[in-house]
Amino acid sequence: MLIGATLYALVFFGNGKEVISGKDRDDRCGGIELWNIKTLTDPNADEIDESDTLLTIKQLIAIDTEVLRQKKQRLPFEKRIVKVKKVLIRKVILENDNDYHLVIQDRQGNHMVAEIVDPDCPDAQQSDYIDSYYNVRNTINRLGNKFMHYEFEITGTLFLDRAHGQTGMAANNIEIHPILSLKATKKLNY
Q: Provide the CATH number for the domain around residue 28.
A: 2.40.50.140
Strands 100-105 and 150-160: unpaired
Largest Cα–Cα separation, the chain: 55
Task: Please check whether residue 129 lies inside any domain of the structure.
Answer: yes
pLDDT(4) > 60 = no
Task: Please check whether residue 134 lies inside any domain of the structure.
Answer: yes
Q: What is the 3-state secondary structure (H, E, C) of 101-121?
A: EEEEECCCCCEEEEEECCCCC
Task: Please check whether residue 44 lies inside any domain of the structure.
Answer: yes
pLDDT at 22: 66
Task: Please check whether residue 4 lies inside any domain of the structure.
Answer: no
Task: Please check whether residue 2 lies inside any domain of the structure.
Answer: no
Domain count, the chain: 1
- pLDDT tens, residue by residue, 35-84: 899 999 999 999 999 898 999 999 999 999 888 777 788 999 999 999 99
pLDDT(12) > 80 = no
Task: Please check whether residue 8 lies inside any domain of the structure.
Answer: no
Q: What are phi and psi of 102, to 5 degrees?
A: -105, 135
Task: Please check whether residue 138 lies inside any domain of the structure.
Answer: yes
Q: Which of 30-34, 78-82, 117-121 has the lowest mean pLDDT?
A: 30-34
**pLDDT mean across residues, the chain:** 86
Task: Please check whether residue 11 lies inside any domain of the structure.
Answer: no
Residue predicted with more confidence, 79 or 189: 79
Residues spanned by the domain of 113 = 16-187
pTM: 0.86
